[in-house]
Every structure is written in C-alpha cells, then in structure tokens.
Structure 1
C-alpha cells in the first residue's frame, strides 16, 4: 500500500479532517464539561483506561490461542486507543442522544489522544514485536503528535480569530476531506484486494467482539450510576465509533505498515452497522420505558 494515494493522500485527508474538527471547536466545548464532571470522567475512564485494557486482554487471547499476527495485535491496540470520531455526533443526533456531550467528549478525547495514542502504540510495539525495527522512536512519536495536534490547533486558532470564516468553511472542509478519504480508502482496498478476505478472517471476530463490548459499556456504564438516557446514548456512540482514520494514517504513514492498519480499516466499516443496530435497539428500549412510565403515572 506504499503509493502516492496513501503516503500523500491519507495524511492530507487526516490533516483536513483534524483541521475541520478544530474549526468546529470553541472554548465553550470544553467549559461545557463542567456541568457534568462525573459523567465526563466516567466516559473518559472507560475510553482511555477500561477499553484499552479489555482490548489488550482480548488480543492476548487471540495471539495465544489463535496464532494472531503480532502486527495485527498492535493494530488492534492502536484502534482501541484512538479517540471517538465526529461520526459519533451524527449517530447520537439520529438516536436522540446528547449531541453537545458528544462534541465536548470528541474535543477532550482528541486532545487526550495526543498523549495516550503514542504511548499505547509504543507499548504495543515493544510488547508484541519484541522491540523490533518497527518500533516507535522519538522522532516518530513527535510525528504522531504533529499529525493530531497541529491541524486541530490551527483550526481552533482560526475559529477564535475569524469566527464567521470558520463557520462558513466547516461544511466545505468536511466535504473535501470526506471525498479525499473515500478515494484513499477505495485505492487502499483496491491495492490489497487479493489479501482482503484473509484480513477480514484474521481480525473480523476480534474486531466485532471489541466493537460490541465498546457499545455495551458505553451505554450501560453511565446508566448504572444513574446517568440519563440521552447522555448514555451519547456515551455509547462516542465509545463505539472510533476515529479509525487517525489510527490508519499513523499505521501507514508513520509506521509504514499496512498490516497494522488492517484492524482500523475493518473496524471503520463494521462500526457503522453495529452502531445503527445499537441505536435502533436503544430507541426501542426507550420507547418501552416511556410507555411504562406513562402507564405508571396514569395509575
């Protein structure tokens, strides 16, 4: 997959996506978190600590008992460490979640990933590849930071200084990045078409298990502690829909490994279907709960 489309197109697409995220962020997105600190801490704890730990255990099982490739194991850990994506806000909106919470969580997750993603990637490379030549050296770690932080910082700066311009540019930037990203993904799939069935077989079950667990924990962890349903739906989508573009880009352009990118690419397709199913089930459950509450109130 070492083509101009992936080595140039994918970083450009990611840069534009992260720039678009920065254009949509304001200080208010961060201060809004103060109104629900415990919910935020719970969701971030699940996403930053609990799920990577679960993924690590899952990967160990597949490596030990299913002879999973070490590089695919690294790719799973990178995917698990990637922050929630902007798609989570769309799904949250469709299924009556708290979209403002999604925006705030995406903002915080994107900033947190500047630290956590390189650390988890470096640990995974050292653990699963025995410190091989593909390790995340200091220069590459700085490159990871730059890929994430610089476009977001530029976008936020433009938003703060030229708000009207930033608002006008949000939609064109998102559209442009989506077109480039789709082209890159199609090109990448075409380049690896012969190996695609093998990749799906290699990581399909592992990715599916992790995705279902992510969506489940995302919804039920907040509900168990009494969080309202709209916030729990927002959490479900934020934790279940990862920014796999970010982890794919780092795998291909920074680590020069198509194999490490495979779990992210499979997850990036699968999550749209599982999140839609989860949203439909939660909507049906919510309707039943509202009906039961109305019946109880009428008696």
Structure 2
C-alpha cells in the first residue's frame, strides 16, 4: 500500500458509502426497536458482545500473528452493511430489521469499535503503544461514519426525489469502493499473498461461518421467527469490510496494512459463504423466499 492518493481517498470513499446508507434510512427505522425489541436486542447482543468474544477465541486458537489478530478483532467490531441487506432480501429475510440493525450499529460503532481495537491492540501488540484509537482518532471515525449517515438521512427528508435518484449510483459506488479496497490490499501484499491466505484464510473462514450461524441460531433459540433470524444472520455474518479496511489503512487512524488483510480475505469469502448459508436456511425452513416478511 504505497499509493498516498489511494490511502488519502479511502476515508472519503467510505464517507460516500455511509452517505448512501443514510439515504436509505429514516427515523422510523430506529422505531422498530420498540415494536420488536426481542429481535433487535438479541441480534445486537450477538454482534456487540458474543461475536468479539468468539473472534478472540478463534484468534487464539489459530495462533494468528499479532497484526492479523488485531485486524480480525477490528473486523468483528465492524457493523453490517448494504451487502447484508441485499442477501437478506434475496433469501427472504426481514430487510427492515436489517436496516434497523445497520442504523443502530453504525451509531454504536463509534464507541464499540475503539474499545475492541484498543483492548486487542493492548493484548496482542503490547510493545507498540502507538497502535490504537485514542480520542482524537475516534473523532475522525465519527466524522467519516456518522456525519455522512446523518447527511444522507437529511437529504432523504429534505429532498426525497434527489435521494431516490442518488440511491442507485451510490450503491454501485459502494461496490466499487469495496472492490478497489480489496484489490489495493491484495496488490500491496502480492509478494506474500499465498502465505497470508495460508496463515489467515482458515481463521477468516471459520469466523465468517461462526458469524452467520450465531447470527441465525441464537435468535432462533430465543424464539425469534425465521425471517427475522435470517436477517440477523446476514447482518452479523456479512461485515462492512470496506469500513474495516479503511480504518486499518488510513494514515490518520491505524495505518497498518497487516491489519487490513483479514478484512480483505473476508471480503472475498463472505459472498460464497453467505450464498450457501442463504440456500441452507431457505431450504431448511421450507419457506418461499418471495413470501412477504411477517414483521411490518
């Protein structure tokens, strides 16, 4: 990753992605918490508490290198994104719940992500006091995450026609940002790419599968209906890898290419595992994915 203009442009690109997320949000998306608290609370507990704990256990079990270990924890602390909403729609999940969870996580991540990253950096990189996200860097995360989301929501309220017109190109741009970020990391690590995949690939795959299964299975055990549990599975199992890669690479934040590798590998494998997971839960439930969701 020796391209200064690319590194400088990543936070701006992520801001555009988060702006696009805001275009699809309204205040009503947050009110779903009051109407269906169990589905929301169980999913949030899985994502914010259970998932980082399981990721930490996997990192120790696979004995990942320190930088990769912190990168995995950063990935675990990253929220879901538009891709999760798309898969939920394709496989009959409750998309409104996805939107609600994404909205809440996009707000909470400003607090939760620095905690997870700083604790993991302190544990795995105890020799390097410079790595972490002190208050000044948290403010920058706030700027590139919450400010664009709020701006997108404001555009939707004030200029709904403009918001509808912008939605499609911003979604396309979101995919482009993810592809460019992954390609840039892969290119920067091209000399050691095979070694990275051998060392990190199994842990990333295991984490991806655990995320999907926990996201679906725990809500089902708690009595949440199939469609809401499917939405939760995709929301928890498909992380916003562009977010994780940007935080890892940005010179003003973590500035560490090694921490971006887990997010890069995850961004590749998640599409295949998510598709397989979607087919599995749809077939096992015996529910036609085209049937309207039960929750309003």
The normalised TM-score by structure 2 is 0.91
> Following superposition, which runs of at least 4 residues in structure 1 exceed 3 angstroms of deviation?
none
User: Which residue in 2 is equivalent to 1:283?
Assistant: 282
Root-mean-square deviation over aligned CA pairs: 1.7
- Note the C-alpha offset of 1:152: 1.0
Asked if 1:43 is matched to 2:39, the reply is no
Matched, 1:136 2:146: no
C-alpha separation between the residues in 2 aligned to 1:216 and 1:178? Answer: 25
In structure 2, relative to structure 1, the CA distance for the partners of 1:131 and 1:155 (3 Å cut) is farther
Distance 1:266 1:9 in 2: 21
Shift of 1:209: 1.2
Q: How far does residue 5 in structure 1 lie from its aligned partner after superposition?
A: 5.0
Query: Number of paired residues?
Result: 285
Q: Is the 8 A contact 2:178 2:241 kept in 1?
A: no
Note if 1:208 corresponds to 2:197: no
In structure 1, runs of 5+ residues without a counterpart are 292-299
Q: Where does residue 294 of structure 1 map in the other structure?
A: none
Q: What are the Cα deviations for residues 229-284 of structure 1, in whole angstroms up to 9, with x where unaligned?
A: 11111111111000111011000002110000111111111111111111111111
Q: Which residue of 1 aligns with 2:160?
A: 163
Contact 2:181–2:242 (8 Å) recurs in 1: no
Contact persistence 2:2–2:188 (CA under 8 A): no
Tell me by how many angstroms 1:12 deviates: 2.3
Q: 1:27-66 maps to which residues of 2 (within 5 A)?
A: 27-63=27-63
* 1:116 partnered with 2:112: yes
On the 8 A contact 1:5/1:187 being kept in 2, the answer is no
Q: Cα offset for 1:129? A: 0.6
Hey, what does 1:90 align to over in structure 2?
86
| Counterpart-to-counterpart distance in 1, 2:274 and 2:26 | 27
Question: How many angstroms apart in 1 are the aligned matches of 2:178 and 2:266?
Answer: 16
Identify the match of residue 187 of structure 1 among 184, 187, 194.
Answer: 184
In 2, the alpha carbon distance for the partners of 1:208 and 1:17 equals 25
How far apart are the structure 1 equivalents of 2:84 and 2:139?
27
Q: Bigger radius of gyration, 1 or 2?
A: 1
Indicate conservation of the 8 Å contact 1:6/1:188, yes or no. no
Structure 2 residues not aligned, in runs of 5+: 289-296
Question: How far apart in 2 are the matches of 1:212 and 1:83?
Answer: 16
Instruction: Describe how 1:227-242 pairs up with structure 2 within 5 A.
Output: 227-242=224-239
Find 1:70's aligned residue among 31, 54, 66: 66
Query: Hey, what's the Cα distance between the residues in 1 that align with 2:262 and 2:34?
Result: 35
**Structure 2 residue 192 is matched with structure 1 residue 198:** no
Structure 2 counterpart SS, 1:11: helix
Question: Which whole-Å deviations, capped at 9, do the CAs of 1:36-80 have from their partners, x for residues lacking one?
Answer: 1011100000000001011112212333xxxx2111110010000
Instruction: Give runs of aligned pairs for residues 92-107 of structure 1, distance below 5 A.
Output: 92-107=88-103
For residue 94 of structure 1, report the CA deviation from its aligned partner: 0.9
1:274 counterpart = 2:273: yes
Q: CA deviation at 1:227?
A: 1.5
Q: 1:4: which partner in 2?
A: 4
Report if aligned partners of 1:222, 1:232 keep a CA contact under 8 Å in 2.
yes
